[in-house]
Amino acid sequence: MTAMEFNHQLIGLEKNLKQYARSLTYNRDDADDLVQDTYLKALANRNKFADFTNLKAWTYTIMKNTFINNYRRSVRENTAFDNTNDLYYLNAGKEPQFYAPDTDYSAKEITREIEKLESDLKLPFTMYNNGYKYKEIARQLDLKIGTVKSRIFFSRKKLMKSLNEYQ
């Protein structure tokens, strides 16, 4: 494939690339930047494209990998390092926390409502709130993952109904 044919076919994918980029970023400006980065990488690596293969799939792969790399880079940039002995800066938080007088009462009331749940709903719900993943809960309680998800869902519904004054 000549460079002219390659460029023509690549430009023909613009509408599809913009749609795909918007589905990844959910932001028009970021999507346009992603399309531009994809074009740049595709043109720079034209010699790596094998003739008589799917240009659209190749370009989509470039876009997906670019998006993932940009996301990972942004996560790394937002990571904070605290070299103090007691991790003061990480533990301090961004703003001082002031609790309302009724906060302690609210937490006790919520805990009381959780304790009122039936045990088959309460156990998966408390495990999920303690940081367990659905698969871990299912494995530990010997349940199907769908059963775990529905029990957590029904627990939430019951708690929302009984604690409707907090909504």
pLDDT range class, residue 160, cuts 50, 70, 90: confident
Q: What is the pLDDT of residue 90?
A: 59
Instruction: Answer yes or no: is pLDDT of 113 > 70.
Output: yes
Q: What is the pLDDT of residue 31?
A: 94
Higher pLDDT, 71 or 108: 71
Higher pLDDT, 140 or 96: 140
Higher pLDDT, 90 or 118: 118
Q: What is the pLDDT of residue 87?
A: 63
Q: What is the pLDDT of residue 64?
A: 95
SS3 readout for the chain: CCHHHHHHHHHHCHHHHHHHHHHHHCCHHHHHHHHHHHHHHHHHCHHHCCCCCCHHHHHHHHHHHHHHHHHHHHHHHCCCCCCCCCCHHHHHCCCCCCCCCCHHHHHHHHHHHHHHCCHHHHHHHHHHHCCCCHHHHHHHHCCCHHHHHHHHHHHHHHHHHHCHHHC
* pLDDT, tens only, 56-104: 999 999 999 999 998 888 877 766 666 666 666 656 655 555 556 556 5
